[in-house]
Each structure stands twice: as structure tokens, then as C-alpha cells.
């Protein structure tokens, strides 16, 4: 089941201070994903937080991936920037994403982060995300296409074109709010049937506010 994962810097402090920091984190994430058996579909590295859309092969895969990259990156970051102490704002947050209704929304939500933050007008102009791979076929060994992304077209050109059109269409405000709320509170993101199934399976509340069915 796909998961939308977010990890923030402690007190919103910057997690990346130099180009090398972004590159090191991506390398560590790639290795951690392989070792933990997680398929990363989309990501974005912002200055003080990280978004990842991934499908874990096993129940513990996502936790193993984030624990590994989180710990290794803190050691690297503290040594490189001559600091001590924590870097992350506690444990990462995540929510299961219903692939039929919210997966492609989540793809765009992740990669449009720099646009919503006012950093760029077009995600193409932001270097530290998977948009270049998903929208233009740029090589990115970290990115593994989900089956629903693959279904966007019969070949890579059709898929990339269709995906760019989806991104250009944007995301409805209520969909952004629903996904953000679900991730921040570790709830399920999807239609009513999906949220109810997750709640029954986990014994955890599926939503904080009533979402539209």
C-alpha cells in the first residue's frame, strides 16, 4: 500500500545547507529504500522538510527506510556542519494512500511543493524532486514508477506527456487539505470505504475531520 511520508526539521530548522547535503541525502535514501524493500515513486527535498511517496514491500519496510536514512544523515550533517544534537522533529509522519483515488494526487502534491511554497513557478525549475524523472524521463535511479503511473500511456513519451498535463491541471484545494491533514495526523487518505477499511484493520481512527465521500 502506498504511503505519503513527511519528515520535518526540528523547530522548522533547515535540513539542507549546501548542494552536497541534498545529494548525500538522496544517495542515502536510495540505498535505504533498496535495503528496506521500498519503492519510491515521488519525492521532494525542501529546505526544512522532506516528502516521499513510496510503496513498502513489507509492513516494517517504510520504518526501516526512514530510520536508516534519518540516522545516517544526521551523523553526516552534524559532522559536516560542526554541530551536535537532533536534526529531525521527532519521528516521521505518514498516511496510507488509496491508489485508486489519491495516488496520482499525492504524486502531484509532493512534486508541486516548491510551487506552493512560492520558490518556483514551475516544478521543472526545482532541482531536488522526482518531477524531472516522472514528467520528462530524466534518469533517476531512486524513482520506481507505480503501476498507475505506468497506466498513463503505452510508452514513456505518452506517460510523461499525460503526467505533465495532470500537473498542469493542478490539485483542488480540498484535495490538498485532505492529504495534508491525513499525513500530519497519520490518518488514511482516500474515499470513505478505504478509510473505514484502514480503521478496522488497524484499530486507529481513519480521519480527524469528516471528508467528502
pLDDT tens, residue by residue, 97-149: 887 778 999 999 999 999 999 999 999 999 999 999 999 999 999 999 999 99
In this predicted structure, what is the pLDDT of residue 1? 87
Of the chain, the end-to-end C-alpha distance in Å amounts to: 20
In this predicted structure, what is the pLDDT of residue 185? 72
pLDDT-based confidence at residue 211 (cuts at 50, 70, 90):
very low
In this predicted structure, what is the pLDDT of residue 99? 73
**To the nearest whole percent, how much of the chain has pLDDT over 70?**
88
**CA 157/CA 168 separation, integer angstroms:** 16
What mean pLDDT is predicted for residues 78-82? 96
Do 89 and 8 contact (CB within 8 A), yes or no?
Answer: yes
What mean pLDDT is predicted for residues 189-213? 56
Give 8 or 175, the one with higher predicted confidence. Answer: 8
pLDDT tens, residue by residue, 178-189: 777 777 776 776
**CA 59/CA 211 separation, integer angstroms:** 26
- Nearest to residue 102, comparing CAs of 199, 184, 200, 192? 192
Tell whether the model's pLDDT for residue 213 goes beyond 60. no
In this predicted structure, what is the pLDDT of residue 101? 76
Tell whether the model's pLDDT for residue 210 goes beyond 80. no
- Domain made up of 3-202: CATH architecture: 2-Layer Sandwich (3.30)
In this predicted structure, what is the pLDDT of residue 197? 66
Give 33 or 175, the one with higher predicted confidence. Answer: 33
pTM over 0.75: yes
pLDDT-based confidence at residue 62 (cuts at 50, 70, 90):
very high
Give DSSP secondary structure letters for the chain: --EEEEEEBGGG--S--SHHHHHHHHHHHHHHHHHHTEEEEEEEE-SSEEEEEEEESSTTHHHHHHHHHHHHHHHHHHHHTT--S--BSSS-EEEEB-HHHHHHHHHHHHHTHHHHTTS-SSGGG-SSBSHHHHHH----TTB---HHHHTT-SSHHHHHHHHHHHHHH---HHHHHHHHHHHHTT--BS-HHHHHHHHHHHSS-S-SSPPP-
What mean pLDDT is predicted for residues 53-67? 95
pLDDT tens, residue by residue, 3-47: 999 999 998 899 999 999 999 999 999 999 999 999 999 999 999
Amino acid at each position: 500500500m502506498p504511503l505519503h511520508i513527511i519528515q520535518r526539521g526540528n523547530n522548522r530548522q533547515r535540513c539542507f545547507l549546501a548542494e552536497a547535503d541534498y545529494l548525500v541525502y538522496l544517495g542515502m535514501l536510495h540505498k535505504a529504500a533498496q535495503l528496506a524493500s521500498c519503492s519510491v515513486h515521488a519525492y521532494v527535498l525542501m529546505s526544512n522538510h522532506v516528502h516521499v511517496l513510496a510503496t513498502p514491500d513489507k509492513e516494517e519496510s517504510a520504518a526501516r527506510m526512514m530510520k536508516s536514512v534519518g540516522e545516517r544523515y544526521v551523523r553526516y550533517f552534524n559532522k559536516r556542519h560542526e554541530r551536535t544534537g537532533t536534526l529531525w522533529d521527532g519521528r516521521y509522519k505518514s498516511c496510507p494512500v488509496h491508489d485508486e483515488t489519491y495516488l496520482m494526487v499525492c504524486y502531484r502534491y509532493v512534486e508541486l511543493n516548491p510551487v506552493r511554497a512560492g520558490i518556483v513557478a514551475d516544478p521543472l525549475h526545482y532541482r531536488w524532486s522526482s518531477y524531472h524523472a516522472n514528467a520528462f524521463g530524466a534518469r533517476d535511479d531512486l524513482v520506481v514508477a507505480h503501476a498507475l503511473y505506468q497506466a498513463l500511456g503505452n510508452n514513456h513519451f505518452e506517460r510523461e506527456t499525460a503526467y505533465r498535463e495532470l500537473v498542469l491541471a493542478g490539485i483542488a484545494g480540498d484535495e490538498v487539505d485532505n492529504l495534508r491533514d491525513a499525513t500530519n495526523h497519520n490518518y488514511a487518505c482516500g474515499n470513505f470505504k478505504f478509510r473505514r477499511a484502514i480503521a478496522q484493520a488497524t484499530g486507529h481512527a481513519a480521519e480527524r475531520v469528516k471528508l467528502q465521500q
